[in-house]
Amino acid sequence: MTNHKNPDSALNQPVPMELSEIRDGINQVDYELIDLLRRRRELSLNVARNKELTDNILRDQNREQELLAKLIKLGKDSGLEANYVMKLFHAIIDDSLTIQRDYFQNKINPEVDLNKQRKISILGGNGSYSFFAAQQFFTSKPEKNIFLGCDNFEEVIRTVEDGEAEYAVLPIENTTSGGINEVYDLLLNTSLSIVGEEKFQVQHCLIGKAGTKLEEITSILTHPEAKRQCSHYIAHKLNTKIDLQESTAHAADMVSNSQTTVSDKNSCMAAIASEETAKLFGLEVLEKNIANQKENWTRFVIASAKPGKASLKLPCKTSLVLSTGQKPGSLAEALLLFRDQEITLTKLESRPILGKPWEQMFYLDLEGNISDPRVKSTLEELTRLCRFVKVMGCYPVKSLAPTRLTPNQLAHSQANVDKPLVTQHTSKPSARKSYHLASREHNPHDTIIEVKGVKLGGDQFTVISGPCSVESFDQIMACAKHASEHGSTILRGGCFKPRTSPYSFQGLEYEGLDYIVQAGETYGMPIITEVMNTKDVQRIALQADMLQIGARNMQNFSLLKAVGKINKPVMLKRGLMSSLDELLNAAEYILSQGNLQVFLCERGIRTFETATRNTLDLSAIPILKQKTHLPVIVDPSHAVGQRDLVIPMAKAAKAVGAHGIMIEFHPNPEKALSDGPQALRFEQFAQLMRDLYPSIS
């Protein structure tokens, strides 16, 4: 091939061949380029296999800089501009990194079958931005992809939770309009894990039927996020109605079928969507680039029911959500942990916590792998400082910044030497307790749980009181009033009752929950009630301030995991025949899911003694306080089962150092629908509170 060092002089040369011959020559070169790119891909895969056996990580930017400098110099010698060579090889290097990334991810996640049909849940179906982002992410074996279109984000998540789809693709933030709050709120309460991300360039257009004139448009259909991103353009459409749809695909479909779906045949409709969407629905682009910002990108997360693993060879991101205490500097104290470990935070987003006015939940993205010792230790420190910590996922970053050369590097190439990564070897960790997060070794300071201004733990002695069961609106209101007037700060009442006999009163269920919520609001008391079923956890948590896991469910591990994923305090009762270590391991199930607001309850255990309902193990209190930082309370009502014995045992619980007690009382114990013999009468409860708090008259 002739090397034209002076391209301009080549323009004056006679044409050596016919145009058809020239095109044949170009085709041949293109075929050769395709073959060369294929061979380069094979070599990139071999690089990954080599790195698998060494300490080398995915990307060596020094090597990339050296390569680019040499290629640019070679290009200049051949009459090629540096920018042309750089853009070309940025794409090639990015492809090489993608191949190596996929190799490492497939190795660490062997259970993911790439040959299996993939069902992917998206908002809006074919033609939506979620559809194009999903196509871009799932490029491997695209013929295996089946897309399930949904009308809203909640449905996108539900289809994966229910097993109808394997993956959910959700937009989470945009460079123009910021975070998508609805998605953040849904991710907090879902069991799905983030396994990947995709960044998609959004290019909004105004699209309509062929022949549509801009001045004739009476309504523009689009998704709320697209409306926000094109707000400047829309502001000039003073006489045009904006009609919000579930997705941009829905909007395009409505315009495409406007003759049959719009009652006003004279109306002229258009939609805001992409150029690709217009083609799918047989529409024309009426105006291009109508977004507020030219560089308009949306970041999508890919979520799955099965948590993925991220290779330590790859640049990774970890997403988590946390809530801190309400003391001054609590957020700053948490963020300093990342600074001290030199971990970069790429995102910090706050969202209000439902049911807790003026309290915030924080969403963070950090650069790092959850398996990295620095990240792991930082997250462990967070569990000491925060009320709630949930890791939403760890996954490879989608796009890496292209390697840039300095002017000096453009002029001079350096030696092409691959430098092995120097790894830091950490000492073998010492053996940990099976209930590590609950242990004193993990957190030497007492955990203090605070809800609606009421504190439990530390030097506080808290009384939780109320009836065994919520029996009626009037009954729970009377109990709440009495409890509040005599110094009790947390209202209890069972709405779902686990009973030994199937014929006993099982509770008023959600009707009772509505009653106790209203009673708590009326008398300014946080409420606690028992949850028995995993399917009820989210719904009850929306109304109750604290959840109770009863003795019979202490080792219901599915239920423990479920309450571990909510941001509400949980009281865990000791099982009927459980050791203290078993109790602490049960608490660990909750803590390990991210909910660090757990307190324990000693309620008596079964022994050979039958003089009382159970044997109240008061020795458990000082032992538990040595073993764990979690608050420990006592339930003397269920322990002894006789109201005349409840009061002395309640006083004894305070004497041995319990952080509080839970007492049952009832307006008319003889007519109580559950556990009447152990319920104190109103005057007995009042006397107990005077004995426990002499200052209360």
Hey, which residues are catalytic here?
298, 300
- Pairwise CA distance, residues 297 & 101, whole Å: 23
CB 429 within 8 A of CB 351: no
Strand pairing of 598-602 and 462-466?
unpaired
CB 639 within 8 A of CB 615: yes
- Token pair in block for residue 228: 């926000």
- Pairwise CA distance, residues 524 & 518, whole Å: 10
Q: Which residues contact 55 (CB under 8 A, 6 or more apart)?
A: 420, 421, 422, 423
Strand pairing of 454-456 and 449-451?
antiparallel
Please write down the HEC assignment for all residues of 231-250: HHHHHCCCCCEEEECCCHHH
CA angle 600, 434, 606 (to 5 degrees): 45
- Pairwise CA distance, residues 648 & 330, whole Å: 40
CA angle 341, 347, 348 (to 5 degrees): 90
Q: Which residues contact 48 (CB under 8 A, 6 or more apart)?
A: 99, 100, 103, 104
Question: In a 3-state reduction of DSSP, which class is residue 332?
Answer: helix
CB 665 within 8 A of CB 680: yes
Q: Name the residue among 578, 532, 579 with its Cα closest to residue 559.
A: 532
Q: Name the residue among 337, 414, 336, 430 with its Cα closest to residue 378.
A: 337
DSSP annotation of 620: H
DSSP 676-697: GGGPBPHHHHHHHHHHH-TT--
CB 34 within 8 A of CB 28: no
- What sign results for the dihedral spanned by CA atoms 214, 217, 223, 224? positive
Phi/psi of residue 187, nearest 5 degrees? -65, -30
Please write down the HEC assignment for all residues of 397-449: CCCCCCCCCCHHHHHCCCCCCCCCCCCCCCCCCCCCCCCCCCECCCCCCCCCE
